[in-house]
Structure 1
Amino acid sequence: MARGEVAEGAARAGLAARGAIYLIVGVLALQIAFGDGKREADRSGALAELSEKPFGSALLWALGIGLAGMALWRLSEALFGAAGSGGRKAGARLLATGRFLFYAVVAFSVLSFAAGSRSHGSRSSDKQSQDVTSRVLDLPAGQVLVGVAGVGIVVAGVVIGTQALRRKYRDKLRLAEMSPRARTLTDVTGVVGGTARGILFAGIGAFAVRAAVDYEPDQAKGIDGTLRSFADTPLGPWLLAAVAAGLVLFGVFSFLLARWRRV
């Protein structure tokens, strides 16, 4: 019982922290779309933005602790299984392990940034992607590894977007406890926000594939570079604005999950 309560609290704090990051990144991307963006639209830009707000240090610590909670929740799923059917299967536990490692790294970078170490959390997502791509390309069969990873990220983006459109998130919600207004708001933010997130992931993966094909690590892009690339399409800044607005909605969706998700 105690473990369940701890995991539930960690999960809800983590989902709220994730929502805050996506909300800020979406706002920063909207500023870029309308010609007023001075920061990278990624986690580093979000942390820098928060650090300049009133009580910025406290907000950064809260964000880092929330993300550590997300990592703890995913670790509990890897060790004991997730809620719902199939949550104890090997595939689900392996996915939870990957999520735990990801959020552990993110939480460490945010907490380090909050503690004053600007070397952690302050590097742009583009620079991080290019550095990782460069190191992998130098490995034996590195070109293949980067290409496979890129394809995997594209597929993940397609899956994320498809699941959002199919409203698969409803399987994990306490729908009976939600009001009609809460269900409607969750559907709007979940479908639009999840689709935008899927498009972003697919774009990041596509640039990784391009970097592998060209054997050029500078072709890889993180969140900021991928978002900015949407403005270079025939739709211009309007596509960037649409995806950015979707990320804001995904942030709101994460807040709703923090309230209504079954853990």
Structure 2
Amino acid sequence: MRLPKRLIRHLLPQVMGAAQRLAYGLVKVPQVQQFIRVGHGAKGTLYGLIGLFAIHDLRYSQQVTGSEGVLLTLGRQYLGSLILGLLALGLLGYVLWRFIQAFFDPGHSEDLDIRQVIQRCAYGISGLAYLGIARTAGNLALGLAIDLDDTVEDLAEVLFERAIGPWLLLGVGCCTVGVGLTYLYGAFTGSYISKFHAELDSLVKRWVIWIGKLGITARGISFILVGSYLIKAAYFLDFDSAGGLSYVFDQLDDDYWGKIWLGAIAFGFIAYAVYMIIAAFYRKFPTLPRQP
């Protein structure tokens, strides 16, 4: 039996409102909030490691790697398994926050317009991505085998087996570039900067905001580069030209100007790490607005 459209339009806002109130209540639980803060710190630590390892590899003319390579190298260090285990657990806190944003979207309108749907999908994809990184870190910590294949290149290869595959890859590339542009816009306008508690010193807050904008800009550039290589792969029908952050770093490392861009992105990732770690302590979570 199909529900009347009028009834659906009447029930949907109520369901969304109840979901958002649940999200606000969940975020207010001290243990949940602390776990999410740990997740922010873990994400910052990950980006800081990627940036530091990239600068080290550039300095000693070694191949620059992305998150998987960093985790693999970290696992070979003294107490590496312990650090990887803690990082994996910490990232789960950030995954939880992304899924809360995807399903309940606290702090935003209850309306499900196109922009809200796209934004929630982006939150969900982000959560799944960091869940995959947490899984890789956990497997390395436990000494389990992991798959170091480039997921993006594998996706491109699968898509190219279908006639419409190159067009789909072109769409994915354009969307990835679009995500990067939104990061640049968010950095320029400050809309992607978290709100901080009042106890954070005003001078420190200004510096943190500036550092955060620098880090978010670096993330935006990395997304644009990944998307550009996807578009290139779709245009030339060459799935080997598609790849994730590790592939982009490897390509940039092949020429002089690429090394400059790579170094700038690496320093930007370190800036983003500083911003995220401070946000882990001082970020202000959304609260339920007062009903009129």
1:217 maps to 2:242:
no
Q: TM-score, normalised by structure 2?
A: 0.79
Which SS does the other structure have where 1:143 is aligned? helix
- Gaps of at least 5 residues in structure 1 are none
Structure showing greater Rg: 2
Identify the range of structure 1 (23-32 vs 227-236) with the bigger mean alpha-carbon deviation: 227-236
Residue 13 of structure 1: aligned partner: 38
- Gaps of at least 5 residues in structure 2 are 1-24, 286-292
Q: How does 1:137-148 map to 2 (within 5 A)?
A: 137-148=160-171
Shift of 1:196: 1.0
Structure 1 residues 139-189: Cα deviation after superposition (integer angstroms, max 9, x where no partner): 34111110000010011111112211222234x312523202321331232
Residue 133 of structure 1: aligned partner: 156
Structure 1 residues 111-152: Cα deviation after superposition (integer angstroms, max 9, x where no partner): 1221111324xx15xx33211210122134111110000010
| 1:209 aligned partner, one-letter code | I
Q: How many residues align?
A: 256
CA distance in 2, matches of 1:15, 1:88: 27
Residue in structure 2 matching 1:229, options 242, 246, 251: 251
Residue 8 of structure 2: aligned partner: none
Residue 22 of structure 1: aligned partner: 47
Structure 1 residues 208-248: Cα deviation after superposition (integer angstroms, max 9, x where no partner): 01111111110012212212433456635222211211111
CA distance in 2, matches of 1:104, 1:245: 25
RMSD across aligned C-alpha pairs, in angstroms? 2.3
Q: 2:196–2:279: 8 Å Cα contact kept in structure 1?
A: no
1:56 maps to 2:85:
no
Identical columns (%): 24
1:166 maps to 2:189:
yes
CA distance in 1, matches of 2:125, 2:28: 21
CA distance in 1, matches of 2:89, 2:111: 27
**Runs of 4+ residues deviating >6 angstroms:** none
Structure 1 residues 8-30: Cα deviation after superposition (integer angstroms, max 9, x where no partner): 22321211111111111111221
Structure 1 residues 187-209: Cα deviation after superposition (integer angstroms, max 9, x where no partner): 23211111111111100000001
Q: TM-score, normalised by structure 1?
A: 0.87
